[in-house]
Amino acid sequence: MLGKFFKKPDADQDDRVPPGQYLTKGFPVLTYGQSPSVSADNWQFRVWGKAKEKTFTWAEFMALPQSQFTADFHCVTRWSKLDVQWTGVKVTDLMRLVELDPEAVHVMEHCYGGYTTNLPIEDFLREENFFAHTLFGEPLPAEHGGPLRLVVPHLYAWKSAKWINGLEFLDREESGFWERNGYHRRGEPWAEERYSY
């Protein structure tokens, strides 16, 4: 019934697949609404709210330290993909250049096209989170969020904003698009924090 693209995890991968998830070898595209078309030429990334306002051009962002990442990817619609390989910039490396206000406790991710998703600051500032511009050695395809997306491996992938263009730091929790529309506030896959009802 799952068909040939989705399968139950093998025993050796079992401990890497959260409850209720199925492995896929492809990389499905999950986008709400139209994909925006974004070119690196006039791309801008802005930080504002409970932080000193700052903007980055594409060249400035690419001048940040570059790292390689291998991470598992879990969509709340029950597909998981293991060992996705990315290149990009660690969140902690970007954040060395951002002056946070002491009252910043939450962050809203903003995107070209209008999508938003929110995170508590501790979930955002984790060492393993990154902004990706390369997927399996190729420029990140537009449908997967190119030129730049965020990846937050420890939470369901709706937190991994595609076409990200801004971070709004907040002194309280505010809900992003899916969080307002029935998804869980936090979205931890191992606890199956899928929906808020």
Ligand X SMILES: Nc1nc2c(c(=O)[nH]1)N[C@H]1C(S)=C(S)[C@@H](COP(=O)(O)O)O[C@H]1N2
Question: Total residues contacting ligand X (rule CB under 6 A)?
Answer: 18
3-class state of residue 160 by DSSP: coil
Cα–Cα dist 171/164, whole Å: 21
Question: Please, which of residues 27-86 interact with Mo ion by CB under 5 A?
Answer: 30, 75-76
Residue 46 pairs in a beta bridge with 55, 166
Question: Please, which of residues 156-185 interact with Mo ion by CB under 5 A?
Answer: 157-158
Answer for which of 89, 157, 167, 170 binds ligand X (CB under 6 A) is 157
> The tokens 């594409």 sit on which residue?
58
Q: What are phi and psi of 25, to 5 degrees?
A: -90, -25
3-class state of residue 189 by DSSP: helix
Question: Please, which of residues 65-84 interact with ligand X by CB under 6 A?
Answer: 75
Q: What angle do CA 145, 78, 158 make, to 5 degrees?
A: 35
* Residue 61 binding ligand X, by CB under 6 A: no
Q: Pick what 43 binds: ligand X, Mo ion, none; C-beta below 5 to 8 Å, kind-dependent.
A: none
Amino acid letter, 67: S
Q: Pick between residue 22 and residue 100 the one whose CB is nearest to ligand X.
A: 22
The stretch near ligand X (CB under 6 A) out of 4-12, 52-60, 94-102, 110-118 is 110-118
Residue numbers of the site for ligand X (CB under 6 A)? 27-32, 75, 111, 113, 115, 144-145, 157-158, 160-163
